[in-house]
Structure 1
Amino acid sequence: MVKEAKRAPQLPKQQLLILAVCRFAEPVAMTSVYPYIPEMIQSFNVRDDQVAKWAGLMSAVFSLSQCLTGIAWGRASDRFGRKPIILLALTCTMISSVMFGFSKSLVWAFITRSMQGLSNGNVGIIRTAVAELVPQRELQPRAFSVMPLVWNIGSIFGPSFGGSLVHPVERYPQLFGKIKVLEKFPFALPNMLISVIFLFGITSGFLFLHETLEERKSRPDYGLMLGKLLSAPCTRQRRRRRTWSSNEEEDPFLSGNSSEMSSPVTKPGVNVPPKQPRWADVFSRQSNINLLVYTFLAMHSVAYDQLLPIFMHYPVQSSKDPQVHLPWKFAGGFGIDSNRIGLLFTVYGVFGMLIQFFVFPTFARKYGVLNCLRACVLTFPLIYVATPFTALLPTDASRQGVMMGLMLIKCFCGIFAFPCSTILLTNSAASLKVLGTLNGVATSISAIGRAAGPALAGATFTAGVDIGYVVISWWTLAVVGIIGAVPVWSLVEMEGFGAIEDEDDDEDDELDDSDVFAAPTEPEPKTSALQSSGTHARKVSVATAPFEDVIGDESPSDSRQLTPATSRGSRDPSRRASLQLSRVASPIGLGPGVVPAGARRYSSDLGATRSGMGVGGTSYY
């Protein structure tokens, strides 16, 4: 028998694209608030020197709220499926984002921002769906770069929306001058436009997104049915491909309704319940270290991104000011408005998109995700230390130019660090059954870092400018980055889930080879005499009649065992034991009880007729 060449695994591009469409609205909504949050807080009659503190607290409220529901979203996706929870979270985030745009007081802004955090549970769920779609380790850098790529594309549009569309009545009187609602709520327009993007993502997910949770795949999906109906006139009718289950032993050789003959025969009275994952399976040693690394990474990286607009919006302080004592004591910013800040963040996002798409997959495959992560965590503190000194440059162009360079370096490191950490965390999971819960835990724990980071940065920035040392906040982030780099050196690259599947495929190929049914070491005669008990038995030479039935007792001489050449030395002993095959009779058309207990009937369903009669075959157990 000639082995068929194994096809190289390929990315499920269509489903990854649908997940990207569903994900796109969230980064747009999250990053759109960066440019105008300082102006929004100022509109609530907050003093300029208190803006950074309240902005940090607002970001902390969002992350703490996300922490409260991260595990709940993950466990809900493990129970009800990835698709319905993704769509529910998108809907809730859309509603809360629109409500945030209509804020008229600081209290209402905090409430709606908290609602955004409570409903933002898609980070871990989409990450889990990607892991279930692409378990192969060699494809993970490309697959896990898709969602960060979407974030970077969203970070291009988000700051543009937020920076240019606030105060629309004042900026664009010809278009919006007569709309009283926008005059009363000057920060509502960006969120109203973003809600359209949310609706597009929700609709696309409902119509075309497939469920990735194994236990929910077999359930009817009316959204997919409607999507096929709507897209049928626009697409060519393709031959329907059969979807094989993960357990090959449960599949008949040909498609069709299964029958009693094609179902496995189990021992009477034996009921094996499915094994429920335990919390100990979620919190393995490598998973715990990865969670710690991810939390510190989110803490200082997100805090840096959210402190930058405040620093850029803060008034310029002249180097000739008597309160300035270089090189350490100064408390100035850039003094630019939200429109300019939005433009800088747009360039920031474009650069990140290019790095994510063209550079990251190649580097990650060549140097390894762990090595890339280690290089990035060593670079972050250097960027944080250098950032405040850009305010000392003499002109606006020099300040913004040097700052743009530092932002691009930080963007490069962030583009590498987060996907690498995600891949390492995913591969550290004990099984796919706990992956949704693990990513939910990661969302919740990292939310603590995302809450503590901006709150700490905002508080230290306010305290620093009060005493004249703006470097305090940035150097605090540098210290956090150094602490977060320590556990990275304890990480180990795990094999992930794709390696297990590949090993099983190799074992199946070995079983398909003809040497599996090779004759045993001792030669067997083609026929034997009748036994004294009267039972007819006929031993068959495999070389001449490999598929003839054998009737007789289950003696050791009747079994066909794998030779050492066909078994892998590294294979688990239980696996080798399960590959010891014994041929038994399997007459067709008879009810349960004929086939011995524990045997499995492999049937093509050719004889599954109403009369119960069919075609014979051979069973192995």
Structure 2
Amino acid sequence: MVKVDKPTQRLPKQQLLILAVCRFAEPVAMTSVYPYLPEMIQSFHVPNDKVARWAGLMSAVFSLSQCLTGIAWGRASDRFGRKPIILLALTCTMVSSVLFGFSKNLVWAFITRSLQGLSNGNVGIIRTAVAELVPQRELQPLAFSIMPLVWNIGSIFGPSFGGSLVHPVERYPRIFGNFKLLENYPFALPNLLISLLFLCGISAGFLFLRETLEEKKSRRDYGLLVGKLVIAPCTRKKPRARAYSTDESDPFLRGTSSEMSSPIVGSEIKPPKQTPGWSQVFSRQSNINLAVYTLLAMHSVAFDQLLPIFMHYPVQSIPDPDVHLPLKFAGGFGIDSNRIGLLFTVYGVFGMLVQFFIFPTFARRFGVLNCLKACTVIFPMVYIATPFTALLPTDSSRQGVMMVLMLIKGFCGIFAFPCSTILLTNSAASLKVLGTLNGVATSVSAIGRATGPALAGGTFTAGVDIGYLIIPWWTLALVGAIGAIPVWSLVEMEGFSSGQDDEDEEGEEDLEDEDDAKATGVPSTAAHSRHSSTAACSDDVFVDDETPPESAGLSRATSRTSLGVPRRHSLHLHRVASPIGMGPGIVPAGARRYSSDLGATRSGLGAGGTSYY
């Protein structure tokens, strides 16, 4: 018996990079709206004191619309495959974003913003694709940190991109002075240029993204064929030599065997396909994870949206008669949007660095669940301390302490969301329901993202009216404390790689060859040789010298799992080729013949067979 060492697990970097390219345009499009949204609403002849209200409602409409279609996008990806649904969602988001830029009234803006939410279904689908690409728990922290990293990068560029390109005719008359269209639609240019990013993502996904849904991998993918033709002049990949198995137990013709020979791996009959039910989606651990994820989105997003309003609110002096420390005060920082933007830029860059360099190491060392528990405990403490920064005496001290609190909160947020995503992914009953589960997560978290800012804004207004600015922040602290309770009922489950320890993983290049063979219908030499060697190894059944032939046959039958895959035993035997008709000296005395693959062998010695002694 030849012992085969398990290859080192590798991250599918190319496919994750393609998913990142597909994902990048969405955060840029979503966050580019923030700088000019109040100005756009003012252009619709809305009074200044009503702008904040309509801006909040427009954000809520986006999240609520996303909630309505999150499950539908997930179910569609489970049925039709991840790749086509990702490309469709990207196309719909691109079109609705362009239409939003051409808004001329409040009704049109609300309709197109709602369409953006309805078509924004890639959050859960891409998360599902990452889970299917990387089922190994050891690699999940790094893999699941890539998409949040892309979102953070897009969130840094999006606001500056959108804020600098509105009113292009007035700001850049030499370049856009003759464009009448941009003069009539001053908010269209950012969305038109962002559509180019969408086209890049759609093109990359169509040409190079491989299907990750197991049931659809064998479908012919014409996009991959075109992608191979596109990159063929730029690559010099050496052709692989065809490898043959030298095992005498292999039949001469692939896929055939005699009645007494061992079943060939890969020839077993697959059970009929069963559509998973909702009971598999909503398991106990999945339900707890959904509750944790929703409450996390609720208070975390509300904090980020309330913070600029708090920092822009006028300063209240301590000697003011309406101030009664330590709880009754209603002042902010009184700083302008440029300073607030600088603080949030530092906040975003810090989050990006933590996401990529710190989170994977910490999650592997301390465990995903332990990191999530620690973060949920810290969140309420940060929220409780935030309003008291307004009582510091100088601008530099207020902004400095606030920056520290923002970085702590950002650190916890960077850890909490990927950890929650990993736990939710591993709680799925099977990969068949993972797309639906992530669609449900997108929908319920959208409810949290809609209600959180609305709750924070309403309590902020009420707190300012009665002189207690601590009310909105302590409300968020209460929500954070409630969200921390179900975390302690979570269990860090094994995920989908626990049953794959005996599978052969030859590295990223061989996996790509095999996927190409499935998607394009062209046989892969490497995959064929790997299948042959696997079949040869799996045909060995080891019994001791004293086992009678009848027992050997029984052992052979019972050593196979319900799926027809052999289970390797630890008992050792020597195996020799025993062609029919060969006399003493070739086959050792006492050898028992357990295989009779009749037909010519590759050595040309007549009918084949295998004996063990």
Please give the range of the TM-score, normalised by the shorter of the 2 chains: 0.7 to 0.9
**Alpha carbons of structure 1 residues 463 and 373: separation in structure 2 relative to 1, 3 Å:** same
Deviations 1:395-435 (A, max 9, x none): 55444433332222111111100110011111111111111
The code of the aligned residue for 2:17 comes to L
Residue 282 of structure 1 corresponds to 281
**Alpha carbons of structure 1 residues 338 and 295: separation in structure 2 relative to 1, 3 Å:** same
CA drift of 1:573 comes to: 8.5
Secondary structure of 1:436's match?
Answer: helix
- Structure 1 position 380 matched with structure 2 position 379: yes
**Alpha carbons of structure 1 residues 225 and 390: separation in structure 2 relative to 1, 3 Å:** same
Q: Distance in 2 between matches of 1:480 and 1:491?
A: 18
Instruction: Identify which range, 337-346 or 187-196, moves more after superposition.
Output: 337-346
CA drift of 1:76 comes to: 0.5
Contact 1:160 1:343 in 2 (8 A): no
CA RMSD of aligned residues (A): 4.1
Residue 141 of structure 1 corresponds to 141
Residue 247 of structure 1 corresponds to none
CA drift of 1:36 comes to: 3.5
Equivalences for residues 590-609 of structure 1 within 5 A:
none
Residue 502 of structure 1 corresponds to 501
Equivalences for residues 127-526 of structure 1 within 5 A:
127-172=127-172, 175-176=175-176, 179-239=179-239, 272-317=271-316, 323-502=322-501, 512=537, 516-519=541-544, 521-522=546-547, 524=548
Contact 2:137 2:495 in 1 (8 A): yes
CA drift of 1:238 comes to: 3.9
CA drift of 1:559 comes to: 1.1
The code of the aligned residue for 2:411 comes to F
Contact 1:31 1:155 in 2 (8 A): yes
The code of the aligned residue for 1:76 comes to A
Residue 22 of structure 1 corresponds to 22
**Alpha carbons of structure 1 residues 98 and 155: separation in structure 2 relative to 1, 3 Å:** same
Instruction: Identify which range, 129-138 or 154-163, moves more after superposition.
Output: 154-163
CA drift of 1:309 comes to: 3.2
Instruction: Identify which range, 378-387 or 326-335, moves more after superposition.
Output: 326-335
Residue 555 of structure 2 corresponds to 561
Q: Distance in 2 between matches of 1:358 and 1:580?
A: 40
Deviations 1:462-503 (A, max 9, x none): 333333433322221111111101000000110111111115
Q: Distance in 1 between matches of 2:192 and 2:144?
A: 30
CA drift of 1:328 comes to: 3.6
**Alpha carbons of structure 1 residues 403 and 558: separation in structure 2 relative to 1, 3 Å:** closer
Secondary structure of 1:276's match?
Answer: coil
Secondary structure of 2:34's match?
Answer: coil
CA drift of 1:300 comes to: 0.9
- TM-score (structure 2 length as normaliser): 0.79
CA drift of 1:81 comes to: 0.7
Contact 2:209 2:224 in 1 (8 A): yes
Instruction: Identify which range, 152-161 or 435-444, moves more after superposition.
Output: 152-161
Deviations 1:69-120 (A, max 9, x none): 0110001001111011001111111122222233333333222221111001
The code of the aligned residue for 2:236 comes to R
**Alpha carbons of structure 1 residues 511 and 419: separation in structure 2 relative to 1, 3 Å:** farther
Contact 1:323 1:468 in 2 (8 A): yes
Residue 589 of structure 2 corresponds to none
CA drift of 1:43 comes to: 4.3
The code of the aligned residue for 2:387 comes to P
Deviations 1:510-548 (A, max 9, x none): 9949984223544x5xxxxxxxxxxxxxx6xxxxxxxxx
Q: Distance in 1 between matches of 2:236 and 2:609?
A: 39
Secondary structure of 1:356's match?
Answer: helix
Q: What is the total number of aligned residue pairs between the two structures?
A: 551
**Alpha carbons of structure 1 residues 573 and 76: separation in structure 2 relative to 1, 3 Å:** closer
Contact 1:315 1:333 in 2 (8 A): yes
Contact 2:329 2:467 in 1 (8 A): yes
The code of the aligned residue for 2:350 comes to F
**Alpha carbons of structure 1 residues 604 and 298: separation in structure 2 relative to 1, 3 Å:** farther
**Alpha carbons of structure 1 residues 77 and 563: separation in structure 2 relative to 1, 3 Å:** closer
Structure 1 gap segments, 5+ residues each: 243-251, 525-538, 540-555, 582-586, 588-599, 608-613
Q: Distance in 2 between matches of 1:311 and 1:516?
A: 72
Structure 2 gap segments, 5+ residues each: 243-248, 506-532, 570-578, 580-594
Contact 2:376 2:480 in 1 (8 A): yes
